[in-house]
Amino acid sequence: MITLCEHGIRSFRAAQFLVQMGIDPVASVKGGTAAWRAAGKPLAFGDTRVEKSRVTESEWTHAGASRYSI
């Protein structure tokens, strides 16, 4: 599984949480979409409807996701 966000911080925390939950392999794009764009990599845009997340970042942190690295 690959996690991704604008700057790579939230996706890294999400990846740590997923590893804690037993999902493996998991990767987070270092630097997020901002670094991807700065490296000249392609990005696609369009209408995408995503159901609102049921897990918030604070719940990941309280679950201990910030204590482990992948």
Q: What is the pLDDT of residues 1-57, one digit of tens each?
A: 889 899 999 999 999 989 988 988 999 989 999 999 999 999 888 877 767 666 556
Number of domains in the chain: 1
The two structure tokens encoding residue 67: 């204590």
pLDDT at residue 35 in the model = 93
27 DSSP β-pair partners: 2
Give the domain extent around 59.
Answer: 2-67
Write the CA distances from 48 to 36, 44, 51, 70, integer angstroms.
20, 11, 10, 29
pLDDT at residue 38 in the model = 95
CA 62 to chain CA centroid, Å, is: 17
Confidence of residue 70 (pLDDT cuts 50, 70, 90): very low
pLDDT at residue 69 in the model = 45
Model confidence pTM above 0.75: no
